Structure 1
Amino acid sequence: MNLSMTATYVSEKILTKRIDLGQRMSYLPSSFLVGKNQWVVAFRFGVVVTIGLNETEFQGAMDVIAPHMETPVSPKIDETIQIQLHAAEDNITGDHITLKDLTWERVLVMSDIMAKSVMLERYETAMSGVFTEIEPLARRLMKGYNEKIRSKEIIHRIGATLLIQQMLVGRVEVSEKPEVLWDHPELEKFYLKLKDEFEISERNSALQKKLELISVTAETQLELINKSHSLRVEWYIVILIVVEIFLTLYEMFFRAQ
Structure 2
Amino acid sequence: MQLLMTAMSVSEKIRTKGIEIGERTSHLPLSFRLGEDQWVVIFRFGVVVTVGLSDKERNDILSELEPFIDEPDTSIETESLFIQTGSNEDKFEGDYVRVTELTRQHVLTMADILAKSVMLGRYEAAMSEVFQQIEPLALRLRSGVGKTRTYRELVSTIGSALLIQHTMVGGVEVNEKPEILWEHPELERLYLKLEDEFEIIERSKALERKLKLVTDTTEKQLGLQHNAHSLRVEWYIVILIIVEIMLTLYEMFIKHV
Shorter-chain TM-score bucket reads over 0.9
1:101 corresponds to which residue? 101
Q: Structure 1: any 5+ residue segments left out of the alignment? A: none
1:111 corresponds to which residue? 111
Tell me how far 1:187 sits from its aligned partner.
1.0
Tell me how far 1:82 sits from its aligned partner.
0.9
SS of match in other structure, 1:114: helix
2:48 corresponds to which residue? 48
Distance 1:116 1:79 in 2: 10
2:150 is matched by which residue type in structure 1?
A: R
Normalising by the residue count of structure 1, what TM-score does the alignment of the two structures yield?
0.95
Describe the superposition over 1:134-193 as per-residue Cα deviations: whole angstroms up to 9, x where unpaired.
221012223437634311100111111111111111111111111111111111111111
Kindly indicate whether residue 19 of structure 2 is the aligned counterpart of residue 12 of structure 1: no
1:206 corresponds to which residue? 206
Distance 2:48 2:8 in 1: 5
Provide the identity percentage: 55
Tell me how far 1:255 sits from its aligned partner.
6.0
Describe the superposition over 1:110-153 as per-residue Cα deviations: whole angstroms up to 9, x where unpaired.
00000010000000001101012222101222343763431110
1:144 corresponds to which residue? 144
1:252 corresponds to which residue? 252
Given that 2:83 and 2:96 are in contact with CA atoms closer than 8 Å, whether structure 1 keeps it comes out as yes
Instruction: From the superposition, tell whether residues 56 and 195 of structure 1 become closer, same or farther in structure 2 (CA, over 3 Å).
Output: same
1:123 is matched by which residue type in structure 2?
A: Y
Normalising by the residue count of structure 2, what TM-score does the alignment of the two structures yield?
0.95
Given that 1:17 and 1:30 are in contact with CA atoms closer than 8 Å, whether structure 2 keeps it comes out as no
Instruction: From the superposition, tell whether residues 251 and 101 of structure 1 become closer, same or farther in structure 2 (CA, over 3 Å).
Output: same
1:237 corresponds to which residue? 237
Kindly indicate whether residue 215 of structure 2 is the aligned counterpart of residue 215 of structure 1: yes
Given that 1:14 and 1:69 are in contact with CA atoms closer than 8 Å, whether structure 2 keeps it comes out as yes
1:11 is matched by which residue type in structure 2?
A: S
1:52 is matched by which residue type in structure 2?
A: G
Distance 2:93 2:207 in 1: 25
Instruction: From the superposition, tell whether residues 217 and 82 of structure 1 become closer, same or farther in structure 2 (CA, over 3 Å).
Output: same
Distance 2:148 2:243 in 1: 28
Moved more, 142-151 or 54-63: 142-151
Tell me how far 1:95 sits from its aligned partner.
3.1
Q: How many residues align structurally?
A: 257
Distance 1:76 1:238 in 2: 57
Instruction: From the superposition, tell whether residues 98 and 134 of structure 1 become closer, same or farther in structure 2 (CA, over 3 Å).
Output: same
Given that 2:90 and 2:100 are in contact with CA atoms closer than 8 Å, whether structure 1 keeps it comes out as yes
SS of match in other structure, 1:102: coil
2:112 is matched by which residue type in structure 1?
A: D
Instruction: From the superposition, tell whether residues 173 and 254 of structure 1 become closer, same or farther in structure 2 (CA, over 3 Å).
Output: same
Given that 1:168 and 1:174 are in contact with CA atoms closer than 8 Å, whether structure 2 keeps it comes out as yes
2:2 corresponds to which residue? 2
